[in-house]
Homo-oligomer: A and B are copies of this chain.
């Protein structure tokens, strides 16, 4: 497990998942955006390293309400042990027919410093979770208790979430579009590059709003573009 360098974390707070996927595409990584995982309510970027919870299908004889009394239940343990600054990422096998977790556990996670919660299943009490400050992402609301469909088996296993490989310690970044998973060893360089790309994209967006054609500008095949950008950047001190 790890902590994120303050600078990397700060950079990732200011870039979009769209820009990050392009930075990762340049490195040959094409499958980094969690599919069908949406934010419950808009807000600032979520950034944190992945702390994973893995589930398999429930089995009626073991997934009974009393199983919650066991403090070694991985779902409950994850909530009490999730490190400060981590994002809890739940592999729900894309199954939103029962909840991955609900408002009480989300509240506890938020209070313990968890940076966000992500599942490819659904949350129960989703209107309450949507009203919390903690960034939360899921597939769709799902009232039934997790025991109905999910059996939590392990913490910090490598998992699938939204069709993407997530290893504990990878860096999860979420904006109002969705969530991207950055492999741990690339987090710093990708954060730097995405921050740089964002400055250029802001310049491009401004030029386009002023009426410029995208030809020559985006991508900057016209040499003038990079000259203009250098000046623009200097003027704005970015």
Interface residues of A (CB under 8 A from B): 16-18, 20-22, 25-33, 35-36, 38, 42, 56-61, 65, 68-69, 71, 76, 79-80, 93, 96-97, 99, 102-105, 107-108, 111, 124-127, 140-145, 147-148, 151, 153-154, 157-160, 163-166, 175-178, 180, 183, 201, 204-205, 208-209, 211, 213-215, 218-219, 221
Contact = CB atoms under 8 A, between A and B. Distances in A.
B221 A143 contact: no
A237 to B, nearest CB: 23
Given A56-B160, A104-B208, A143-B177, 15 more contacts: A18-B143, A18-B144, A21-B148, A25-B144, A30-B60, A38-B141, A56-B165, A57-B163, A57-B164, A65-B219, A68-B218, A79-B214, A80-B213, A103-B205, A111-B209
A20 B214 CA distance: 36
B18 A214 contact: no
Contact of A143 (B60, B65, B180): B180
A166 B31 CA distance: 22
A42 B58 CA distance: 30
B145 A76 contact: no
